[in-house]
Amino acid sequence: MTSDAPSNGEGNAMKCISAAVPLGLLLLGMAVLFPLTAAAIELYSFQGEGGQIYYTNVPGPGHRKINPHVLRMRAKKKASVPRRTGMGPAAEQLEYDEAILSACEHFAVDPHLVRAVIKAESNFDPGARSPKGAIGLMQLMPNTAREMGVSDPLNPVENIFGGVGYLSQLLNSLNGDLPLALAAYNAGPQRVMNYNGIPPFRETRNYIERVLDYYEHFKGKDSL
């Protein structure tokens, strides 16, 4: 989230949603008005085949409502803060895998995608800061960090959980449209609404292409 365009922490209020807006963008507008933050979203757990526990925001038979704050805290306890080795981004990416996998399990996001976003945003530098104020591995803007319940965006585990939760929110709001969700992550959901699609910012378009390239790379290799 280091775009020259407005950040995802800006413009989180929308005055109206046109009835002509495509379904994905309509859902995004609802997310802008009523953010699916850790404090607001309703989560349910249920047991699948083989005893595997799954999480969803859809109620149903056998679905047990859970407290998302408790869920996040449990996951954080499992994913300890990685130790900096000074061995470079590839080695550090492996150190963050536990937190990435834990967050992706709970927010239903592909870990390869999260690695691609982190690579594009911060090159796996947990202390990265952008001129616009984005912080940490997933370059969370302060407002976004607060909305996602992140108290310390420089803490790699908190940053990953906040960023993955926010990315999941965008993907859900946009019916899984990955390029559009990445555009919203980079330029802000309000800009996606305003332009009824991917904003015409060169940095945003380059960002989408870069993340997708990294995504394909991570899907085919263990590290970058």
Residue percentage of the chain with pLDDT more than 70? 59
Q: Please report which residue ranges of 79-198 form alpha helices under DSSP H.
A: 89-95, 97-107, 111-122, 142-147, 156-173, 178-187, 189-194
Spell out the residues 6+ positions from residue 89 whose beta carbon is closer than 8 angstroms to its own: 119, 123, 124, 125, 224
Residue-wise pLDDT tens digits, 99-130: 999 999 989 999 999 999 999 999 999 999 99
Residue scoring higher pLDDT (18 or 80): 80
Q: What is the pLDDT of residue 52?
A: 57
Cβ proximity of 7 and 1 under 8 Å: yes
Q: Is residue 101 classed exposed, middle or buried when 0-12, 13-18 and 19+ CB atoms within 10 A define those classes? A: middle
Cβ proximity of 133 and 141 under 8 Å: yes
CA distance to 42, 177, 182, 194, per residue, from 121 (Å)? 29, 20, 11, 24
Res. 224 pLDDT band, cuts 50 70 90: very low
Catalytic pick among 49, 105, 121, 203: 121
Residue 166 is encoded by which pair of tokens? Answer: 């926010």
Residue scoring higher pLDDT (183 or 62): 183
Residue 39 is encoded by which pair of tokens? Answer: 């404090």
The Cα–Cα gap between 111 and 145 comes to 20
Cβ proximity of 144 and 112 under 8 Å: no
Cβ proximity of 112 and 220 under 8 Å: no
Has 121 been annotated as catalytic? yes
Strand partners, 129: 135
Q: What domains can you pick out in the chain, each with its CATH number?
A: 23-36+67-220 (1.10.530.10)
